[in-house]
Structure 1
Amino acid sequence: MAERTDYEYIVVGAGPAGVQMAYYMEKSKMDYLVVERADGPGSFYRKYPRHRNLISINKKYNVFPEPEFNMRHDWNSLLCDEEDPLLFTDYSEDLFPNAGLLVKYIEDFCKKYKTNIRYNTNITNVHRDEKSNGHKSRSRFTLTDEKGTTFTCRVLMIGTGPIVPHEPKIPGVELIDSYQEHSLDLEEYKNKKVCILGGGNSAFEVADHLAGSAGLIHMFNRHPVKFAWDTHFVGHLRAVNNNVLDMYHLKSLHALRQCEATRIWKTEDGKFSIEYDMHLPNWDPPGTGRFVTSGYDKIISCTGWKFLNIAMFDDSCKPEMHTEDKYPVLDEHWQSTVPDMYVIGTAMQARDRRAASGFIHGFRYNVRTLTNMLQNTYNSKELKKQIFSPIDQEEICNFVVKHISVVSGLYQMGQGFLCDVMLIKKDGDAKTDAPTAGRVEYLRELPQAWVKKQDWFMDAKMAIIITIEDTISKYPTLSATEFFTPGDANASNCKCSPFPQGVFRVYKNGKMAEELYIGGSLVVRADTRNFDGDTNPERYVNKVKNLFFRHTGIGKDGFYEQLFSPDMWPKVYRPWTQEEIAEQTKKEVDKLKKAQQFECSISILRPQVDVSDM
């Protein structure tokens, strides 16, 4: 019997995203195939990261017992609905484990759970035909592998991950080493002068590896380095890779330069020279200098990846790209500009530069959500929902506060990227403190941007969008990355919180009627006491009950929302005197003035300077 090659869904790539998709498609009995060019799953991690330590957190012990809560801090496991799931935390207790263990974990996942994956199948061409079927137009994709075998499908998903190195357009770049192929032998770098192009985690990963061997390291990046501890975005520079930065600030030879390389060449002595532009806003007059640094023994390009191999698609289905062809253009549910072609895995970060889509702990939730959305779109299955009927204020509000206290998907895909939706369908308008006829339909983990375009949401008389969001950006100033002063704990609407918190937005016929920030806590839970003496741990659910009553008239209102009871407040809180307020204000003003008093002593701008000895 000839091997079957036609499917409704085909996934290209059996990395963590492709395997996660296969797991959920198998459970949903969808007609699918995953094709993978290597001889096993997770092959990217056989080589990358080059220095083998993952930067995805592997925190096994988290105080709280709920498995769902613990997934917030397990960044490498795939999602699994079984009672005894296979977890990566059982493979290592290291906070940043060796990447080889992740390969073993993904292989074991495919052995334990049924998946339809065809290995050693390297797709080299993708073609799309638009065919008419009666009154409906129905596309088909044809995929051809390097052996000439063809596969066809109605819906195509690309999960190839970081597949093509993003090579900077610098004359002479072909002469230097790359992140993908540079030598890991530290003997080659002993007391050498090394230049690294790039300012992301891969560049700092290389620099960290070489920091003890190289005599001098210069890092060139055209943009300011963004730090994860400032931005709270997992894709920016992580502390685990910042030893070179530490040495730079402590004046230990290694250094960072914010500049743009314009040319590289090799000199007669076999060393490298690099020309670069540097913006100098503090010079007099401000301008741009063009400099040359010579004498590098090694230059290594660490400028990231492109997340689609655009050469794989012929003109019938070539998706649009952005950011120097690094990312595909995606709509609200990860569909590319080619109809019926979706992108999964780390490339989902094309729409998400604030949450965690670029890492397993983010895109695993996106993949689960997309599986449900695909069945809704192509197989006419309703989106999964939980029904509460009759509507009981106490039941629904307690449920949702407990849910956001442990849920991992909304937590990882915060900043409102994924959201839960409560559709409130009430019978009658009379206010009552008893359960009332009607129903609440609760839908989980949908892309918020997609939800707001759906007729069922825009036409809903009342809906509540629920997210978990980091609101640190709402602080007017924030100068310290290591310490956050809590916002006003007695505020009913805590828009300034140093910790992620539940956010409830009430919509009526598609228009927002109220926005409630319920407040955060150190452990990001709304169902526990924050500290000894926390006399009102129910304040979170009380805020939600009051909100629910304000807009539905169901149940009661007047629930107490403050941190402390009135009699407790003067026992734990001492307001500052006017003198203390003035002193604190002066400190902040002095700090701001100091930051603005930086002056550059160099006042002459030369068109080109050789700074070989810098």
Structure 2
Amino acid sequence: MDKTDYEYIVIGAGPAGVQMAYCMEKAGKDYIVLERNDRVGSFYQKYPRHRTLISINKKHNYFKEKEFNLRHDWNSLLCDEDDMSFFNYSDDLFPDAGLLVDYLSDFSKKFNLKVRLNTNIVKVHREAVLDRRHPSRFTITDQNGKVFTCKVLIVGTGPVLPHNPDIEGIELADTYQEHTLDLKEYENKKVLILGGGNSAFECADHLAGSAAIIHMCTRTPVKLAWDSHFVGHLRAVNNSVLDMYHLKSLHALRQCDTKKFVREDDGTITQTFEMELPHWSPPGTATFTSKGYDKVILATGWKFINIDLFDATCKPETHTDGKYVVLDEHWQSTVPDLYFIGTVMQSRDRRAASGFIHGFRYNVRTLSHMLGARYDDDQLPKKAFQSLDAEELSKFMIERVSTTSALYQMGQGYLCDVMVLKPNANGKSNGEEKMTGTADYYYELPREWVLKNDYFMSQENLLIVTIEDNHHRFPKMSVTEFFKPGDMNPRDCKCTAFPQGVYSAYKRGELQEELHVGGSLVVRADKKIFEGDNNPNRFTNKIKNLLHRQIGIGRGDHLERLFPQEQWEKNYRPWTQEEIEMRRQMEIAQKTVKSECRLGLVE
């Protein structure tokens, strides 16, 4: 008889489910992945509809480390085998989606992952049990009435339902999921596309050369990934229609709230919409109609949970009109022992990359470790140091930040490394680089979870290590201006366009200091980053000085400047007070003109 009872069950064999299966297979866990279709990665057999991935596949990156190159390989899953890199499947920067199906299938077979195909789960039930470690027992029923049971349920079903707005006459529209791709159907037609994300612009790009006029309508302003630095916002690879709009080439974008669609006698569709007009005098809201649309396409996104799958015993809370499930700091839902993985992990992440493979693959690996620690008493991955050697610790931390792909992709403090330092009570360095004691360096944990964890927050000496950029500190700066190096003279290099290592020192849960070591284009602090870099050790020197300030390890006088003082004076000319005032007045004038244009006071 087939085995039906497991410690862990994963629903869905997309990239998240396959990644979790790899982690559990490697750890020797009792698990099964249940997939409703006849092969893994089946979502990518149809989506994206226009068959080009927007996840980059940049295989030539100058540096040789596999870990570093994962920063620019957005399609591979994490594993120990070099031949299972997606780089081996395509040279294209934006590959064909069908290759991802092949890759996931090969990956699953390569590692003999326990995946059961053609198993469509139709009902999930939970029984509460009296077990401190496993308070749940899930009963899962497939389309044939076969029942599976587990103690921990992990859902990785990805985008499962269209997230369509509630609009009168919405049935007149085609959907992103089902609209025809035949360009002849759109030749010289007037097309309306609802939505302002990548799927909407993907449709518009596909039709731009065939349709006579494309109108794109979105309730909220379009957010550009190059402005927000969030990978889920509109990508440049999809924005040709936006380009055409601003270059006056018929296609157009408007921000409005659609209220109704009506089919006219001639077969065309009329849209009624409201538009807020804060720049009118007086400001107000106007109602308009737009006629003559031959086709309307809904590309308004997805829901990442099918709430009807869960009965009343285990129905998790959702948010954003049922689009996302509510998740805590380690991706557990409001139902105990029920976790969600994959693109739904963006439910609590709108700054890093959780919505894409190159982000959630790290979340999934981290969750697998946390599940092992919680349910099986496994140790979280860490590196142990048997002495507090300032040279060894600082070099390790700088090299880690210089090569890690996890902290790079899941930056802005979403995932972090944590170092717990435990000097001996009488451990004095007396100016030497070493101090007696130990240190544990933990890899890739959710920062919000760390900040609530009693063990970490009770430590006398704790360092949290992240990679962050600081674009959010400069919200009014144009993306084309945001490229200058950070101030390399002060200790705190927050004013930079580049990502950088950030080291936050805590004592018993209280933040003591936050050190930004300085960024670079390639985010390497372990090598010379340009010709004339006369102090490439300044990054490790900053960590040495931090360790001295916070714990007393070693000396605190290591050189942190890019140049020695005498050379700095040759290479850098400070502005005069008159030049500073001229720049200030110029920026004030520019801001005034922009404000007046927004208010409609000047042409």
Q: Given the two structures, how large is their TM-score scaled by the length of structure 1?
A: 0.96
In structure 2, what residue type is equivalent to 1:526? Answer: A
* SS at structure 2 position matched to 1:132: coil
For residues 220-278 of structure 1, give each alpha carbon's deviation from its aligned partner in whole angstroms, at most 9, with x where no partner exists. Answer: 00000000000000000000000000000001111110001011111111000111110
Q: Which runs of 5+ in 1 are unaligned?
A: 603-614
* SS at structure 1 position matched to 2:102: helix
Q: Are the equivalent residues in 2 in contact too, given 1:200–1:237 (CA < 8 A)?
A: yes
1: distance between equivalents of 2:20 and 2:533? 43
In structure 1, what residue type is equivalent to 2:413? Answer: G
Quote the residue 1:116 is aligned against: 114
Shift of 1:479: 2.5
2: distance between equivalents of 1:137 and 1:517? 42
For residues 304-331 of structure 1, give each alpha carbon's deviation from its aligned partner in whole angstroms, at most 9, with x where no partner exists. Answer: 0000111111111011100010000000
> 1:566-577 maps to which residues of 2 (within 5 A)?
566-577=565-576
Quote the residue 1:276 is aligned against: 273
**Number of residue pairs matched?**
599
Shift of 1:293: 0.4
Q: Are the equivalent residues in 2 in contact too, given 1:386–1:441 (CA < 8 A)?
A: yes
Residues 539 and 206 of structure 1, relative CA distance in 2, 3 Å threshold = same
In structure 2, what residue type is equivalent to 1:402? Answer: E
In structure 2, what residue type is equivalent to 1:409? Answer: A
In structure 2, what residue type is equivalent to 1:143? Answer: I
In structure 1, what residue type is equivalent to 2:363? Answer: N
> 1:314-325 maps to which residues of 2 (within 5 A)?
314-325=311-322
Asked if 1:164 is matched to 2:165, the reply is no
Q: Which runs of 5+ in 2 are unaligned?
A: none
In structure 2, what residue type is equivalent to 1:122? Answer: N
| Match of residue 373, structure 1, among 362, 370, 386 | 370
Quote the residue 1:88 is aligned against: 86
Quote the residue 1:312 is aligned against: 309
Q: Are the equivalent residues in 1 in contact too, given 2:391–2:433 (CA < 8 A)?
A: no
Shift of 1:569: 1.2
For residues 345-376 of structure 1, give each alpha carbon's deviation from its aligned partner in whole angstroms, at most 9, with x where no partner exists. Answer: 00000010000000000000000000000011
Q: Are the equivalent residues in 2 in contact too, given 1:230–1:481 (CA < 8 A)?
A: no
* SS at structure 2 position matched to 1:519: coil
Q: Are the equivalent residues in 2 in contact too, given 1:204–1:242 (CA < 8 A)?
A: yes
Deviates more, 1:442-451 or 1:577-586: 577-586
Q: Are the equivalent residues in 2 in contact too, given 1:393–1:435 (CA < 8 A)?
A: yes
Quote the residue 1:543 is aligned against: 542
Quote the residue 1:481 is aligned against: 480
2: distance between equivalents of 1:476 and 1:16? 34
Q: Are the equivalent residues in 1 in contact too, given 2:545–2:557 (CA < 8 A)?
A: yes
1: distance between equivalents of 2:599 and 2:248? 19
Asked if 1:230 is matched to 2:227, the reply is yes
Asked if 1:529 is matched to 2:528, the reply is yes
2: distance between equivalents of 1:137 and 1:532? 58
In structure 1, what residue type is equivalent to 2:212? Answer: G
2: distance between equivalents of 1:323 and 1:601? 34
Q: Are the equivalent residues in 2 in contact too, given 1:9–1:156 (CA < 8 A)?
A: yes
Shift of 1:464: 0.5
Shift of 1:158: 0.3
* SS at structure 1 position matched to 2:130: strand
In structure 2, what residue type is equivalent to 1:97? Answer: P
2: distance between equivalents of 1:434 and 1:56? 44
1: distance between equivalents of 2:600 and 2:268? 32
Quote the residue 1:348 is aligned against: 345
Shift of 1:454: 1.1
Quote the residue 2:135 is aligned against: 138
* SS at structure 1 position matched to 2:394: helix
Deviates more, 1:27-36 or 1:518-527: 518-527
Asked if 1:208 is matched to 2:201, the reply is no
Shift of 1:136: 7.4
2: distance between equivalents of 1:536 and 1:334? 42
Asked if 1:296 is matched to 2:293, the reply is yes
Q: Are the equivalent residues in 2 in contact too, given 1:141–1:154 (CA < 8 A)?
A: yes
Shift of 1:475: 3.0
For residues 197-219 of structure 1, give each alpha carbon's deviation from its aligned partner in whole angstroms, at most 9, with x where no partner exists. Answer: 00000000000111111100100
| Match of residue 400, structure 1, among 388, 397, 402 | 397
* SS at structure 1 position matched to 2:488: coil
Quote the residue 1:190 is aligned against: 187
Shift of 1:438: 1.4
In structure 1, what residue type is equivalent to 2:361? Answer: R
2: distance between equivalents of 1:555 and 1:28? 39
Asked if 1:22 is matched to 2:21, the reply is yes
Shift of 1:544: 0.7
2: distance between equivalents of 1:424 and 1:195? 59
Deviates more, 1:341-350 or 1:560-569: 560-569
Shift of 1:491: 1.7
Shift of 1:599: 6.2
Shift of 1:20: 0.3
Shift of 1:487: 2.6
Aligned-pair RMSD on alpha carbons? 1.4
* SS at structure 2 position matched to 1:27: helix
1: distance between equivalents of 2:159 and 2:130? 35
In structure 2, what residue type is equivalent to 1:565? Answer: P
2: distance between equivalents of 1:155 and 1:463? 32
For residues 567-611 of structure 1, give each alpha carbon's deviation from its aligned partner in whole angstroms, at most 9, with x where no partner exists. Answer: 211222222334433332233222212201226779xxxxxxxxx
* SS at structure 2 position matched to 1:213: coil
Quote the residue 1:219 is aligned against: 216
Quote the residue 1:464 is aligned against: 463
Shift of 1:476: 6.8
Quote the residue 1:426 is aligned against: 423
2: distance between equivalents of 1:600 and 1:267? 37
* SS at structure 1 position matched to 2:193: strand
